[in-house]
Structure 1
Amino acid sequence: MTSTSPSQSAPANRGVAFEDALQVAAEAAAYSPSSHNCQPWGVGWAIGAVARHAAAKLLGESVGHTAAGSGHTAQDDGEYLVLALDRERQLTALPSHEAEMLISCGAYGEVLLRSLATQGWPADRVRFVDPAPAAHRPKDGNTDRIFGGRWPDAWMPLCVVSLRHSDTSGDLAELSETLHARHTNRGPYRPDRIDPAVLARLSTSRPGPSLLRAGPEYDRTVIVRHVVADAERAAVADLVSRHGGRDFSHRLAWRETHSFIRHDEADAEAHGDGFTLGQLFGPLSPPRRFGMRIALAPRTMRILRHGGYHRILARQLAAMVRRSPAAVALCFDDETPDAEAVVRGGAVLADYWLEATRAGLVLHPVSVILQHDDVRAELEQRLGLPGRAFFVSRLGRAVTTFPPSHRLAASRALRVV
């Protein structure tokens, strides 16, 4: 992120300067969950006069007369952030990926704002910007330039947040520790039943100042449903067994997924995204790693799928689901949620995953049964879900440790606008 002058940060007697707090928050938020670990988010810090006036107007606020070269005034010590989807990093192979990308951005925004709140910079208002449908979006991105000429062409704004300094802060170290402990664990889980009281807390947990709490009282639009009964878990496993091979057999979807599989740790670190075979399958011997690399290559998969290899992989995943002590489904209460509801859904997901991590639980999303409307509808019908499911995951206590995935530099997601 480009450095700013002292006049563009909070005064020294107001605690942590906003620029410093934002950098720390971005480093924490970089560990947010995202589909394929693609990290499709960005956040603009509105410093310029055009950007600040645009942000204030969207929020129904007013920005006073500004000093030359800056959007700040002596009387106005508030800050504005604009959460965005980075279209250069989004998944596009399936229609369902559009919602997945907004969910990923919502999770990032939630963690970012929660980290800022722990440093004395809580969000007090949020206004969502309805993104234009991809089919009607100009290629030059001019409709996104309401925040000035420094706004990246590839970024689609999702919401504007105002923040004001507060003497109240939180436990940044605890949040950071939880974020580093939170990651997908695709290994076996202990069969022990999860305490119903723990599940009840996870169903009702809500954060402090954040994307969900900024502004008017948040109207709950997400339902958390835990799947613990044997028959229900068997129903989920059956869907995975019958339909879990679609990702492998869908040419475009698998090519896109495979593009995020890294050869080894060094390759993953160099890219800063995606996942290694070890993160997908756990510890592998060198011969098996070599064999899996060949088997999963798109050209090989096109051949192997004729022999049913994709169904074998689906049955293996189904067995993991069946042996897990629980699953969790997050649902919108509306069958056709708008972009705001989807982004907020991502914030709820981040909140849930952090609370689950604090409870000593791990998750393994089973996204494939949500990425096709017919399978998702059958899941909702068989489980009696109260709305549109947008996240389904195994839930339990880990038997083995899986390595965390690598992340891009936090500064990549930050822009001064």
Structure 2
Amino acid sequence: MTSTSPSQSTPANRGVAFQDALQVAAGIAAYSPSSHNCQPWGVGWATGAAARHSAAALLAETAEQNGADYGATQDEVEYLVLALDHERQLTALASHRVEMLVSCGAYGEILLRALAAQGWRADRVHFVAPTPAAHGPKDDDPGRIFGGRWPSAWVPLCVVRLSPAHTPSSDLAELRDTVRARHTNRGPYRPGRIDPAVLAGLSTSRSALSLFRAAPGDSEVTVRHVVADAERAAVAGLVSRHGGRDFSHRAAWRETHSFIRRDDADAESSGDGFTLGQLFGPLSWPRRFGMRIALAPATMRILRHVGYHRILARQLAAMVRRSPAAVALCLDDEAPGAGSVVRGGAVLADYWLGATRAGLVLHPVSVILQHDDVRAELEQRLGLSGRAFFVSRLGRAVTEFPPSRRLTASRVQRLV
């Protein structure tokens, strides 16, 4: 894979101001949520003639279909390509495909917000949905579309056009602080109920800046808060009965465990994953040592025979039951396309930032979405329509959890 990054090799005559804005935006978007903190995204900045031509052609096709007018001239615009990095994605379960696209959508949303806050507005998007050719070279191969500098492990998800705006869209410092404050909190939550007005605001809020807003005919996202005791108990019951699958599924747990870092230094070096402290909160040295042994894949293979995975599931279920609320995000299409799922990730980013501003924290409970039978039961019990793609505990934190480490911008960006 090419290692070229905007900071290493930027054409002297191309978008110097944009380069600076992109570096700042990438530093903020690096703190976007992703499963296991795997950060499966990539961003290509189209600076080469072939890549810019291809990006413009794809966006022109979308504009023509929508009857839109470009406005800005070709010399004023910049193009970014959001991608899924196969080398960083989770693959142990088929459902991880959806989780990876959601993660990429959340990253893309925060990246575009940070650019807009610096005066670079995204005004066009084209979702890429390649169809492999049956024989011979693929006409839609990313290397053919965006040129030879396109990383072979990246699959393009969408092309975005950005134009200079007269004024920044929002306060960059406020956005940076909110994004940095947003992280998963797996500890207990305060028992008091959450103000219904706050929940109502989170259910309906959608950023007017988001380029990933669903167009007419696209799958919409529904936000459903679970606050009634009986409904929370139903969700907790599913977690108790099925939450052990992640621990007992050999390939899934091996993949999960590969993201557990030995200590802060190991996490800092890798730039991804999480430490035991980020999973369980502050731990004494003996307990940290014991947890490291207990969670090792070889140990888990033995302990599952005595029901250890069920004990862990019941512990998580108890936390779900004691939380004041849970939240489910659903796409109204039961079989959404990649573009709809990416948009769903953008809505998730919008929701999580809004929750952070309201003083709330989240702890995703992904295990009840990772198996179709369990997900279907969840949707039936809560009366959800379409496909649930995110479920989480929601509340006010008792204990602060440290943020996890992030990859540098140069590891997720390329010039193409």
Pairwise TM-score range, normalised by the shorter structure: over 0.9
**1:30-65 CA distances to partner (integer Å, 9 max, x unpaired)?**
000000000000010111110001001111179xxx
Residues 246 and 367, structure 2, Cα contact 8 Å, conserved in 1: yes
**1:17-41 CA distances to partner (integer Å, 9 max, x unpaired)?**
1110011111111000000000000
Counterpart residue number, 1:41 = 41
After TM superposition, the structure 1 = structure 2 runs for residues 179-190 of structure 1, keeping only pairs within 5 Å, are: 179-190=179-190
Counterpart residue number, 2:361 = 362
C-alpha displacement of 1:210: 2.8
Matches of 1:304 and 1:233, distance apart in 2: 29
- Determine whether 1:379 maps to 2:378: yes
Counterpart residue number, 1:125 = 124
C-alpha displacement of 1:211: 3.1
Residues 219 and 331, structure 2, Cα contact 8 Å, conserved in 1: no
Residues 219 and 340, structure 2, Cα contact 8 Å, conserved in 1: no
Residues 225 and 325, structure 2, Cα contact 8 Å, conserved in 1: yes
CA 33–131 in structure 1, closer or farther in 2 if over 3 Å, else same: farther
- Determine whether 1:8 maps to 2:14: yes
**1:113-170 CA distances to partner (integer Å, 9 max, x unpaired)?**
010000000100001001558x989999981111000000010000000010001212
| CA-based RMSD | 2.2
Matches of 1:405 and 1:192, distance apart in 2: 28
Counterpart residue number, 1:30 = 30
Matches of 1:232 and 1:337, distance apart in 2: 26
Residues 324 and 394, structure 1, Cα contact 8 Å, conserved in 2: yes
Residues 329 and 388, structure 2, Cα contact 8 Å, conserved in 1: yes
C-alpha displacement of 1:218: 8.9
C-alpha displacement of 1:6: 3.9
Normalising by structure 1, report the TM-score: 0.92
C-alpha displacement of 1:220: 6.0
Counterpart residue number, 2:225 = 226
**1:376-399 CA distances to partner (integer Å, 9 max, x unpaired)?**
000000111122100000000000
Matches of 1:21 and 1:137, distance apart in 2: 42
Residues 125 and 159, structure 2, Cα contact 8 Å, conserved in 1: yes
Matches of 1:116 and 1:218, distance apart in 2: 28
C-alpha displacement of 1:179: 0.6
CA 138–237 in structure 1, closer or farther in 2 if over 3 Å, else same: farther
CA 115–33 in structure 1, closer or farther in 2 if over 3 Å, else same: same
Counterpart residue number, 1:408 = 407
Letter paired with 1:175: L
Task: Provide the secondary structure at the position in 2 that maps to 1:93.
Answer: coil
Aligned sequence identity (%)? 77
Counterpart residue number, 1:209 = 209
CA 348–74 in structure 1, closer or farther in 2 if over 3 Å, else same: closer
- Where structure 2 has 5 or more consecutive residues not aligned to the other structure, the ranges are 63-71
- Determine whether 1:177 maps to 2:183: no
Normalising by structure 2, report the TM-score: 0.92
C-alpha displacement of 1:244: 0.3
Matches of 1:152 and 1:87, distance apart in 2: 10
After TM superposition, the structure 1 = structure 2 runs for residues 154-173 of structure 1, keeping only pairs within 5 Å, are: 154-169=153-168, 170-173=170-173
Letter paired with 1:9: G
Matches of 2:390 and 2:75, distance apart in 1: 40
C-alpha displacement of 1:410: 1.6
Residues 130 and 140, structure 2, Cα contact 8 Å, conserved in 1: no
Residues 191 and 324, structure 2, Cα contact 8 Å, conserved in 1: yes
- Determine whether 1:114 maps to 2:113: yes
C-alpha displacement of 1:4: 2.0
Matches of 1:139 and 1:321, distance apart in 2: 50
Letter paired with 1:3: S
Task: Provide the secondary structure at the position in 2 that maps to 1:206.
Answer: coil
Residues 117 and 210, structure 1, Cα contact 8 Å, conserved in 2: no
**1:212-256 CA distances to partner (integer Å, 9 max, x unpaired)?**
249x67956110000000000000000000000000000000000
Letter paired with 1:99: V
After TM superposition, the structure 1 = structure 2 runs for residues 97-108 of structure 1, keeping only pairs within 5 Å, are: 97-108=96-107
